[in-house]
Structure 1
């Protein structure tokens, strides 16, 4: 793994733990746990709703003969956002909600498109078939 990934593996849980402690000191441990459970449930519901919407839109584009590239990236954002919302923590919840909302999703989609474009230009992004 790259060094920055190790850094994230250490930094994110530390920040989440700090968020738990900070929120528990403000509203209490029980309410903090209920808040985490509540955001996980809301995230799961939103992921299902937005996921269905993305699939329907992608099918419409495919039926009209278009490649659903943008919709596939939206689907990836919805999937990652849902995983982040189910993961306990306030920071992952904030990022997860921004990935699920259609208003903020284009920011991530644009960054993802730029990353894919850069990788394809460098030749480090390859496709392979394994059957």
Structure 2
């Protein structure tokens, strides 16, 4: 785990700085600064647009009484991608862009789900999922209507046996 953190907090910024300096030599200082601001603006716009679309899909699935699993994963990916796009750097911008575009986000989502399934099968992670039982005081909630008449789910836990 410490090697991963070393890579994340020291090596990645050093690589980002080297790439930015090289781009600065090619296109000039102010153009590079403009590129950084442009990617941050485009990233925040895309994050907002994709985030709102995912939020609507999440609410729609809940209103239908279905589990919004894909929408939850998409929401997390959009949040991480937006943070990467706001962070100055070319490599982080590319990764953020991949996380915000629907086709590449679908590929990332499939990879993450397959990896989690493998970890569960290998018993390196145990995953227990449930949803809170609707209370009688909230009958107008569409999510509560979806759970009406069903057995109370078990509590949820996410137990990691291995460092990720």
TM-score norm. by structure 1 comes to: 0.90
Higher strand residue share = 2
Report which of the two has the higher share of helix.
Answer: 1
Per the TM alignment, residue 125 of structure 1 is displaced from its structure 2 partner at its CA by: 4.4
> 1:97 Cα deviation (Å)?
0.5
The gaps in structure 2 that reach 5 residues or longer are: 128-156, 159-164
Between 119-128 and 77-86, report the one with greater CA deviation: 119-128
* Deviation per residue, 1:87-106 (Å, 9 max, x gap): 00000000100100011111
The Cα of 1:48 is off from its aligned counterpart by: 0.6
Q: Distance in 1 between matches of 2:26 and 2:3?
A: 35
* CA–CA separation in structure 2 for the residues paired with 1:45 and 1:105: 16
Please tell me whether residue 108 in structure 1 is matched to residue 108 in structure 2: yes
Cα distance in 2 for residues equivalent to 1:124 and 1:5: 21
Structure 1: distance between partners of 2:36 and 2:42: 10
Segments of 4+ moved more than 4 angstroms: none
Counterpart contact for 1:116–1:125, Cα < 8 Å: no
Task: Show the counterpart of 2:95.
Answer: 95
| CA distance in 2 between partners of 1:124 and 1:94 (Å) | 30
Where does structure 1 lack aligned partners over 5 or more consecutive residues? Answer: none
Is 1:77 the counterpart of 2:77? The answer is: yes
Residue aligning to 2:136: none
**Deviation digits for residues 24-65 of structure 1 (CA, Å, limit 9, x no counterpart):** 000001110111011001101110110000000011111111
SS in 2 for 1:67: coil
Structure label with greater radius of gyration: 2
- Alpha-carbon RMSD: 1.4
Count of residues in Structure 1 that have an aligned counterpart in Structure 2:
128
Structure 1 CA distance for aligned equivalents of residues 4 and 124 of structure 2: 21
The 1:20/1:66 distance shift into structure 2, 3 A limit, reads: same
The 5-angstrom pairing of residues 43-82 of structure 1 reads 43-82=43-82
